[in-house]
Amino acid sequence: MDLSYWYFFILALFGAVVASATGAGGGVVFVPAFNMLGLSPQSIIATSFAIQCFGMSAGAFAWFNYAKQPGLATEVPAWQSYSRFILWFSVPAVIGVVAGQTIIDPGSPQDVKALFKVFSMAFAVAILVTTAYIVKFQNRALDPVAISPLIKVLFVVVGLIGGTITAWLSIGVGELIAVLLILMRYPVRMAVGVAASVSAVSVLVGVQKYLWFEPTIDTSVLLFAGPAAAIGGTIAKRVVAWFSPVQLKLFIASWILISAFAM
């Protein structure tokens, strides 16, 4: 083990907390950081996928335990749909990941880098919009949007698009889901939990490409970052409790904008 890689432990711990606390993929932290640290374009996405398998899986498990706590679904009926939402988004997301890795070519590494910048900036703006939305309606008892057949079609489309983008950038599906569910007036914690869980499913499927067909995962980085991501994903739910949704989202939006410009 090369101890000179120790700082990836800190980076992965931070990235996993951000990812599981907001529903965003850890790629919003890992991709720009790995780019600045000089990892090859092929290794950046592969290693980001591998690390997120630890962090997002731990985060999904923590949110699942939160969703199953006694009385939550009774007090907040929207949580009764938690598992169904994960299933509705996960199936098209997996199809999107596979399509993005096998059928739809994102282009050269420079194209991927430009796409990451554009998506990151768009996501940061979306966070600011949802933050303003939360502030506007936080004192109003509004019911979530009803799940009609048209809404289910929207879920499928978002899952497909998000999964495809995730295949290219190691971010995408969690961000889109979290924003969508918040705008549909579902509880912020529920939106984050669903997003983190679907992200976990997506990266677990997506990493298979880099385990069996294109072995470009940087194992020296993963040895430090993997365990740290698992810890970060586990404690992320507790971190959420320290901040208001508005504070958390403003911080994440600022981080994403800065990292996108630094790419």
Across 109-123, 126-140, 159-173, which has the greatest mean pLDDT? 159-173
Between CA 157 and CA 95 the distance in angstroms is: 11
Task: Identify the CA nearest to 247 among candidates 22, 92, 56, 96.
Answer: 22
What sign results for the dihedral spanned by CA atoms 68, 72, 77, 79? negative
pLDDT digits (tens, 9 = 90+) for 154-184: 999 999 999 999 999 999 999 899 889 988 9
pLDDT at residue 105, as a whole number: 87
Q: Exposure pattern of 223-239 as b/e (b: 16+ CB <10 Å)?
A: ebbbebbbbbbbbbbee
Rounded average pLDDT over 32-59:
92
User: CA 106 → CA 49, 68, 111, 162, 230, distances in Å?
Assistant: 17, 39, 7, 14, 29
- What is d(CA 207, CA 213) in angstroms, rounded to the nearest whole number? 10
DSSP state of 215: -
121, burial (CB in 10 Å: exposed 0-12, middle 13-18, buried 19+): middle
- Please determine, for residue 37, whether its predicted confidence score (pLDDT) is greater than 90: no
Q: Could you report the per-residue pLDDT of 242-255, keeping only the tens digit for each?
A: 777 677 777 778 77
Between 65 and 251, the more confident residue is: 65
Look at residue 141 and tell me whether its pLDDT is greater than 70.
no
Averaged pLDDT, 197-214: 96
Amino acid 143: pLDDT = 82
**Mean pLDDT for the chain overall:** 88
* Spans of all domains in the chain: 3-262
**Picking from 82-86, 93-97, 256-260, which range would have the lowest pLDDT averaged per residue?**
256-260
Predicted pLDDT of residue 187: 86
Output the pLDDT for position 262: 67
Higher pLDDT, 66 or 143: 66
Residue 85: is its pLDDT beyond 90? yes
Share of the chain above pLDDT 70, in %: 95
Nearest-angstrom CA–CA distance, 89 and 194: 9
pLDDT at 1 over 70: no
- Position 138 scores a pLDDT of 64
Q: How far apart are CA 259 and CA 38, in angstroms?
A: 15
Tell me the C-alpha to C-alpha distance, in Å, between residue 140 and each of 71, 134, 181, 222.
22, 10, 17, 45
pLDDT exceeds cutoff 90 at 198:
yes
